[in-house]
Amino acid sequence: MAQPERFPRHLPRAGTAAQPTALPVGRVRPLTAATLEQHGARLTVPTYDRAALIPSVVHLSVGGFSRAHQLIYFDEVAQQRISAEWGVVGVGLRARRLREALAPQDNLYTVVERSPDGERARVVGVLTDYLFAPDAPDAVLDRLSDPRTRVVTMTITGAGYLLDPTTGVFAPDDDVRHDLAHPGAPRTVFGFLVEALDRRRRAGTAPFTVVSCDNLHRNGDATRTAVTGFAALRDEVLARWITDRVAFPSSMVDRITPQTTPEEREALARRHGIDDRWPVVTEPFSQWVIEDSFCNGRPPLDAVGVRFVRDVTDHELMKTRLLNASHSALGYLGTLAGHERIDVLMGDPVFAAYAARLMDDEVTPLIPVPEGIDLDEYKATLLQRFANPAIADRLSRLCRRGSTKLPHHLLPSLRQALAEDRPHALLTLALAGWVRYLQQVDEHGRSLPIEDDRGPHLQALARAGGDDPRLLLTDEPVFGDLGSVPGFPDELADAVRRLRCDGVRETVAAATAASAR
């Protein structure tokens, strides 16, 4: 029998955790291929031949998370001399600024792992090129069509899949219609993927595997639905070829990566002597579980800590319903209470107890335990990760895109608990926190920013209803039929009212105490 996986874990070769000392200003040097040897005395740098890397992977929508997660694993494959066949080409969809940062640095960048014990820093060299799709659609299509491209990974957020929330069917928008009319100049991820796959089909080239790294239930199935749905609107023969030939493995990714601030760049220069235009700061913990289904060669990621499994569903449910749902719950409730950082929030025993009870009492009974995982240890590790002061993750980041996150992370547990007549008061309180957050004022009267594509519509519904969420619950893309569950609208209304009348901390404390009885 396999031994349970131990937590926390971090990737190898990141160097020894330390509290670095500040360097004189004159010792700070830019990050380029020419300066790597000079930086090697202060942090881990690539020691492999970057020019020998074969660009076999394309990552669509490069951001902070992909640079702190997927690219690190591929970098480790090269750094450990396991293979030079898995260099990565990054493609940006919106972030022109990232190209402007990476180009002068020869596509090098720094990742800083921070824990209460210190920090590790490494320069990542596996990114061989970075293309900004709106400026160079031909170059992106050429790269995707290149026979050397064997895997495409992507992080486009849940809303980017354009799946109808009720039917799950691909729902084209104006950009998709543009891509159907102009296949050689696409604007969307799926326009690029389908055009490239069509070119490969016509040339007799094997297709690439598409690996989603977004927090979606069965993200591989979601990707397949979107890609084949787009293709069917264009060419049924192409759609059938994709269905028969292309692999879309699901995957679960896990690493907390806050947004990089100018202060982080300054700290990197001060402590490590490196001037990086856009570094990434993250935690030591990292996990990647991938369904073992590839159509054009499988990268040897298992040699650097990735787990290949037959079915990723249990791992995905564990992560999204425990980590992501707790993030949302703490984000909204903590923000309403006036907090700004999750580590500070977790220093309050009321909110720390709430998070533990939410996971133990209401979510854990609803999810299967993945093979080889000690679930109690995983939850204990989550609480430690949330409380990591070296990361200081901002609650504002956790509150973004609630209309996309809650239907995938928190509401499935709430809906299941209601259906099975299980305890759900803490889940309900988390949703009540979002309802109050949408009203855009915390309990101290301060205005709250709403970063959500559907924010204005949902705000209007939440404000119109006040303490009564029934009007908001009519929004089917988010809530489905939750508003018609007998008794639930009244439970939610009571939780919303208590947050307003009794105060957030008091309401959280009372609900947690009641759950413990």
CATH number for the domain harbouring residue 359: 1.10.1040.10
Q: Are residues 98 and 144 in the same domain?
A: yes
- DSSP H helical segments within 40-128, as ranges? 64-68, 70-79, 96-102
Listed as own residue / partner, the contacts of 467-473 with beta carbons closer than 8 Å and 24 or more positions apart are: 467/493, 467/496, 467/497, 467/500, 468/493, 468/496, 469/432, 469/435, 469/493, 469/496, 472/435, 472/438
- Tokens 């100018």 belong to 262
Q: Are residues 73 and 202 in the same domain?
A: yes
Q: Are residues 214 and 112 in the same domain?
A: yes
Domain contains 12: no
In whole angstroms, give the CA distance from residue 33 to residue 371: 43
Q: Tens digit of pLDDT for each residue in 242-296?
A: 999 999 999 999 999 999 999 999 999 999 999 999 999 999 999 999 999 999 9
For position 373, what pLDDT does the model report? 92
User: At CA 326, angle to CA 322 and CA 328, rounded to 5?
Assistant: 130
Q: Are residues 479 and 354 in the same domain?
A: yes
For position 228, what pLDDT does the model report? 98
- Domain boundary pick from 282, 311, 340: 311
Query: How far apart are the two ends of the chain, measured CA to CA in Å?
Result: 36
Domain contains 4: no
Q: Are residues 393 and 442 in the same domain?
A: yes
3-state class of 107 per DSSP? coil
Residues 246/249/255/256 CA torsion (nearest 10 deg): 70
For position 26, what pLDDT does the model report? 54
Domain that holds residue 285: 31-311
Q: Strands (DSSP E) along 25-144, which ranges?
A: 29-30, 55-60, 87-92, 109-115, 118-124, 127-132
In whole angstroms, give the CA distance from residue 351 to residue 336: 12
In whole angstroms, give the CA distance from residue 320 to residue 254: 9
Q: Tens digit of pLDDT for each residue in 2-51?
A: 444 444 444 444 444 445 554 444 589 999 999 999 999 889 999 999 99
For position 141, what pLDDT does the model report? 98
- DSSP H helical segments within 167-261, as ranges? 174-181, 189-203, 219-234, 236-245
- Domain boundary pick from 285, 311, 337: 311
In whole angstroms, give the CA distance from residue 271 to residue 223: 41
Q: Tens digit of pLDDT for each residue in 485-497?
A: 999 999 999 999 9
- From residue 106, alpha-carbon distances to 72, 98, 103, 268 in Å are 17, 12, 5, 18
Q: Are residues 55 and 125 in the same domain?
A: yes
Provide the CATH number for the domain around residue 100. Answer: 3.40.50.720
Q: Are residues 286 and 325 in the same domain?
A: no
For position 166, what pLDDT does the model report? 81
Question: Mind giving me the DSSP string for 140-171?
Answer: HHHHHHSTT--EEEE---GGGG-B-TTT--B-
Q: Are residues 107 and 205 in the same domain?
A: yes
Looking at the chain, the whole-number percentage of residues with pLDDT higher than 90 is 90
In whole angstroms, give the CA distance from residue 332 to residue 467: 16
Which stretches in the chain have pLDDT values below 70? 1-26
In whole angstroms, give the CA distance from residue 419 to residue 84: 51
